[in-house]
Amino acid sequence: MKKPKKSKSARRYSLLDRLAVLRPRLSAFMLDWASWGYVVYGVMYLLNKYWYLRYVNFYGRLTLPAWGWPVVILATFELAMLSHAFGQSIGLNLFGLKLLGSEYAPPRMSQRLRRYVALHLKLFLQPLALFGDRPLGMLLHDGERAGCMFQVAKIKDDLPPEKPRKWYLTYRGLCVAGLLGLTFWLGWKITAINLQMLVDRVGKSGHIWHDLVTPSFTYLTESVNERGHLYSITYYMMETIFMAFFATVSGAIVAFPLSFLGARNIMGFNAVGWLIYTLMRTVFNALRSIESILMAVLFAVWVGFGNPFAGALALFFHTIAALGKLYSEQVEAVDPGPLEAIAATGARRWQVVIYGVIPQIIPSYLAFTLYRWDINIRMATVIALVGGGGIGTLLFYFKNEVGRLDDAWNQVGAVIVAIVIIVWILDYISARVREKIG
């Protein structure tokens, strides 16, 4: 039997409500902390690079004494709190928060100072605010004297109009500019950009460009070398297209049923459904974030190096994940009207799916599949690098023969021309068909 609800409900807001309020504030603080940590990392790196005059390897190994780490952590923490109290920090801005005094006026300096101190004092008591009885959105250090943190979206209409200021006069603008500048400087050093070398070696790479734009098509059609290996650009072109086709079609066939399991509006009716939904989405996301060329490394060991089946398998698994995600998002976006109409006739769940959902999603499924074929073709041209077969087999073969064959770069040029042609044709066809469908 259900418990009768307490008539004297002291707590107006549930724990989840309070967590929802706390979350953006916590995320904003973490982001600020991380960005200050990043600034310290960058400064340390550049100091190592310039000041110590010692060779720092290209990964930018940080040299810091053992006691330095706690200091850095504390210092960045302080800096994050300072930027929270004295100005609109990046984190606050990104998560839509604003520190305001009474009557939504900008906080006074004394309020900002009080807030900074209060943040120290009440930092560890903050979780208690989840269980207290204060109004929603007010944490322990929020108040009349230290200003309150507001979610901009909620008080947008009541905010007094702000006078626009130039970006370089705002704390936020300066922070973003400084971070961008630091990142640029760091990037220049870390990726070891060396324009001098680029210019100096133009002469040395000149013959490569010359050879690449004068491709030699000796291996255009069936031709076998003295070791009995097949070097035919046409054959490998077909292999590439078919490899991608096989992976795409098989992947689409597998992803089609899985996409319904990964759609919230189909599965989210009971606990088991939610479990399956979460599981499917996790698998899709995890599998999708491994590039197919990395999977091909494993499959090349499994079914043989240079076997197009290895490449097809790698593309197949990546396609399942990618299409599964796209498909299930599409299922979630269907118009619920026809579904309800069919459900109202007393149809079962699977009947609703077949007669309500599938007719709505077929065109976009086709478009996604074609798009995927396009991507798979692009990937299939280079998957041979790790032994996945396809036209890349020739590309990397000739590239490795650069010292031994006179016309190696010309052959590479011919293969590149073939790749461009394949990609163009498929691009054109898929664009035309998608246009027609969508």
Partner 1 sequence: MKEKYYAGFMTERPNWRKARRAFLKDVSVLVTDVLILVSLWWLGSYIWNDLVHQTRDFLSVPWWIMVVSVIELALMWQSFGLSPGMKLLGRRLVDEQNGSWWVSLGRRSLRVLLLHVMPALLLQVILTTRYIPWHDRLLGFRSASAAEIDEIRVPWYRCSSAVAVILLGLAMYLASALFTHVDLVKLFTNASSTSEIWNKIFHPDWSILGLGIRLLIVTLFMAFMATLFGVVVAVPLSFFAARNLAHGIVGRSIYTALRVIMSIIRSIQPFIWAIIFVVWVRTGASAFAGALALFVHSVADLTKLYSERLESIDPGPVEAIRATGAGRLQVILYGVVPQIINPYLSFTIYRWDINVRMATIIGLVGGGGIGQRLLQLTRNWVWDQAIVLMLLIMFAVMVMDYSSSRLRERLN
Q: Which amino acid is at 172?
A: R
Only one of the segments 3-11, 160-168, 185-193, 332-340 lies at the binding site for partner 1 (rule: CB under 8 A); that segment is: 185-193
**Residue 243, interface with partner 1 (CB under 8 A)?**
yes
Evaluate whether 416 touches 395 at the Cβ level (below 8 Å): yes
In three-state secondary structure terms, 85 is helix
What token pair was written down for 200? 């100096």
Distances (CA, A) of 240 to 21, 214, 297, 393: 53, 24, 17, 10
For partner 1, the binding residue among 147, 262, 324, 389 (CB under 8 A) is 389
Cα 369 to Cα 156, 244, 287, 314, 428, distances in angstroms: 43, 11, 18, 17, 15
Can you tell me which of 242, 256, 355, 371 binds partner 1, judged by CB under 8 A? 242
H helix runs in 262-391, sequence order: 264-267, 271-288, 292-303, 308-332, 336-344, 349-352, 358-380
Contact 301, 230 (CB under 8 A): no
Of residues 60, 87, 101, 173, which one binds partner 1 by CB under 8 A?
Answer: 60
From 170, 168, 186, 190, select the one nearest 40 (Cα to Cα): 186
Nearer to partner 1, 291 or 340 (CB): 291
Binders of partner 1 among residues 253 to 312 (CB under 8 A) are 285-286, 288-291, 293-294, 297-298, 301-304, 307-309, 311-312
User: Is the Cβ of residue 111 or residue 292 nearer to partner 1 in the bound state?
Assistant: 292
Amino acid at site 380: A
In the set 21, 331, 386, 414, which binds partner 1 (CB under 8 A)? 386
Least distance between partner 1 and beta carbon 222 (Å): 10
Nearest-approach distance from CB 157 to partner 1, in angstroms: 20
Backbone phi and psi for residue 172, each to the nearest 5 degrees, phi listed first = -65, -45
Please say whether the beta carbons of 321 and 398 come within 8 A.
Answer: no
Q: How far is the CB of 368 from partner 1 (least distance, A)?
A: 16
- Count of all residues that appear for the chain in the document: 438
- Nearer to partner 1 by C-beta: 140 or 300? 300
In terms of CB distance, is 111 or 277 closer to partner 1?
277
What is the DSSP secondary structure assignment for residue 405, as one 8-state letter?
-
Interaction between residue 420 and partner 1 (CB under 8 A): yes
Q: Report how far apart, in Å, the C-alpha atoms of 116 and of each of 84, 101, 119, 132, 425 are.
A: 8, 14, 5, 22, 62
Q: CA 401 to CA 408: how far, in whole Å?
A: 6
| Binding-site member from 265, 378, 401, 407 for partner 1 (CB under 8 A) | 378
Query: DSSP characters for 72-84?
Result: HHHHHHHHHHHHH
Q: Return the number of the residue (105 or 198) whose C-beta is nearest partner 1.
A: 198
How far apart, in Å, do the first and last CA atoms of the chain sit? Answer: 54
Which candidate, 284, 314, 282, places its Cα nearest to that of 387?
A: 314
Subset of residues 350 to 369 that bind partner 1, contact rule: CB under 8 A: none
- Residue 252 interacting with partner 1 (CB under 8 A): no
By CB under 8 A, residue 212 contacts partner 1: yes
Task: Based on the shown chain and the rule CB under 8 A, indicate whether residue 190 belongs to the binding site for partner 1.
Answer: yes
> What is the smallest separation between the CB atom of 197 and partner 1, expressed in angstroms?
5
Residues from 20 through 59 that contact partner 1 (CB under 8 A): 58-59
The distance of closest approach from Cβ of residue 249 to partner 1 in the complex, given in angstroms and rounded to an integer, is 6
In this structure, what token pair is assigned to residue 133? 């009885």
Residue of 33, 231, 246, 365 interacting with partner 1 (CB under 8 A): 246
Q: Which residues bind partner 1 (CB under 8 A)?
A: 58-61, 183-184, 186-188, 190-194, 197-198, 201, 204-205, 208, 212, 238-239, 242-243, 245-246, 249, 285-286, 288-291, 293-294, 297-298, 301-304, 307-309, 311-313, 378-379, 381-382, 385-386, 389, 395, 399, 402, 412, 416, 419-420, 423-424, 427
